[in-house]
A and B are shown apart, each in its own frame.
Chain A
Amino acid sequence: MEQLINDFSPGLFAMQTIIMLVLIFLMVKFAWKPIMNSIEDREKGIKDALDAAENARKEMQNLQADNDKLLKEARAEREAMLKEAREIKEKMISDAKEQAQVEGDKMIKQAQAAIESEKKAAMADIKSQVATLSVDIAEKVIKEELANKDKQLKLVENMLGDIKLN
């Protein structure tokens, strides 16, 4: 310990303290401050750049998602349109079928009505003809009667039996 104290040089202590204080002052002013500021600026720059890259990546992702969404929507819309078209087609076909049916029915009915009325007309005609014929027959019978009454009558009977209403 005595040796240690004896080795302690107050002069060296003073010189070291003074030089160290001056050195700290000079180093802070000319070295550490500019170095630290530059390093921190650079680190901040790097951090900003990384953040910007991250943001750009996220934005890209968003864009991609948007694109995907749009594509999906477009696809869905196309699908819907196709479906609608198909429905319209089917509806048109079924409508047409229905209308044709209706029209056909109507025509059949008309035809039936026409046939009925023709039939009626024909019947009427036949009836009038039958009447005429009957009258004619009667006339002939009457004329014949004058010759053969029994024969005439038999004839009338036969004729009437032959003619059937159809």
Chain B
Amino acid sequence: MKKKLGILGLFVALLTTFNSNANSDKEHVKDHGGEVDTKEEVTEYILHHIKDAHDFHLFSYTADNGERKHIGFPLPVIVWSSKGLVTFMSSKFHHDDSGQHIVNAGGTNFVKLHSKIYELEDGVTELQFDAEHHPTNAHKVLDLSITKSVFGILVVALLMLLWFGGLAKQYKNKQIPTGFGRILEPLVIYVRDEIAKPNIGEGKYRQFTGYLLTVFFFIWISNLLGLTPFGFNITGQIAVTAALAIITLVIYTFKGNKDYYMHMLWMSDAPWWIRPILAVIELAGAFLIKPFSLLVRLFANISAGHIVVMSLIGILITMKSEMTIVGSGLLSFALSFFITLIELLVAFLQAYIFTMLSALFIGMAVAEHDHHHEHDDHGNELPDAEDVRADFI
């Protein structure tokens, strides 16, 4: 209990820190954290939300003296610029997201535009745009910041280490875990028995369960965290899903056996002149289509979920004039409540699908095709469970 109070205290302290840094610069207020009162502002707010952010922003309000206050805390910005590695706190941008506020750090100048950090060319004092609103006198930098998503990833990682590390520790003293571990253990067994074992095969699943379990719980907890009012959108970042999909790609590419590559590059049961064509298709399937399907499915589902939930919450504002605040509030609550229930299911489902498909792809790469077969009376090979599985995948 004391520990929890301590964490809560730290959190409150962080929030207040940010509050004292709160920006009252009225000219930038519109860009980020400004009042949301029209359809356009709702749309912009939603689009802003599904992007990554450089600070942890919970909500904003207008104080009695007309000052706009932001509740949240800044996160460290780490960028690789032309002058080397530069770090500073995101509060230096003063919530500016339109590229107007220039931050001087590490001997060079930075601006933030639509959640991206640009380094201004030498001697430039103001960002200029071309017709399509792209900056002309600044360039992107490698942004290794602890952004909101990275912060969320770290939170998820920490939670996983705490929960499952705790579960692992429980087994030292007893056979059956108690407390929260009792909930986690069946989930672990579920992933092993329902995802890893049937898709990879009895003999080989063990070496991949570590990855599958990690990726399953990472995606699931991230998805669930995205449904909390903290406003994380970790698995809705295409970079995050791409990283996960590429890890799966690397695993099945390096663990693939001879059968897998033979089947991919020179399919023995097809006419010879089709084989090169098939090889091209198979190569594209293995190295592009499979990882792309993994990363886009997760990204699109979670992003769509966030947009739908936020749009339904937005009904509160957009329908205010037609239905009065009570009517639009009730409508928005009812709709967003039920869609959130569906999103809870989607959170699990997407974690399951990603893990299941990863297991399936790994299973295809490591499957044994010419193992010992039982023979029937006429000397024909009898298909066994392994073949059925191989045919199925």
Contact = CB atoms under 8 A, between A and B. Distances in A.
Contact of A27 (B150, B161, B239): B161
6 interchain residue pairs of minimum CB distance? A11-B143, A31-B164, A38-B171, A28-B210, A13-B239, A34-B168
Contacts of B160: 23, 27, 31
Centre residue among A16, A21, A39, A42 by max chain B CB count within 10 A: A16
Interface of A: 4, 7-17, 19-24, 26-28, 30-36, 38-39, 42, 45
Nearest to B238: A8
Contact of B214 (A11, A27, A39): A27
Contacts of B164: 27, 30-32, 35
B165 A31 contact: yes
Given A7-B51, A34-B169, A38-B168, 4 more contacts: A12-B52, A27-B164, A34-B171, A42-B176
Interface string B290-333: 00000000000000000000000000000000000000000000
Contacts of B223: none
B244 A20 contact: yes
A23 B167 contact: no
Nearest to A10: B142
B150 A15 contact: yes
A10 B142 CA distance: 7
Contact of A15 (B144, B168, B218): B144
B161 A30 contact: yes
Contact of B161 (A20, A26, A38, A42): A26
A30 to B, nearest CB: 5
B168 A39 contact: no
Interface of B: 51-52, 79, 116, 142-147, 149-150, 153-154, 157, 160-161, 164-165, 167-169, 171, 175-176, 185, 188-189, 192, 206, 209-211, 213-215, 218, 237-240, 242-244, 246-247
B358 to A, nearest CB: 12
Given A12-B149, A20-B243, A23-B218, A35 B238 contact: no
Classify the interface of chain A: helix, strand, loop or mixed.
Answer: helix
A28 B213 CA distance: 9
A149 to B, nearest CB: 137
A31 B211 contact: no
Contacts of B143: 9-12
Contacts of A42: 175-176
12 contacts: A10-B143, A14-B144, A15-B153, A16-B243, A19-B157, A20-B215, A22-B157, A23-B161, A33-B210, A34-B169, A35-B164, A42-B176
Contacts of B142: 10-11, 14
Contacts of B247: 17, 20-21, 24
B58 to A, nearest CB: 21
Contacts of B157: 19, 22-23
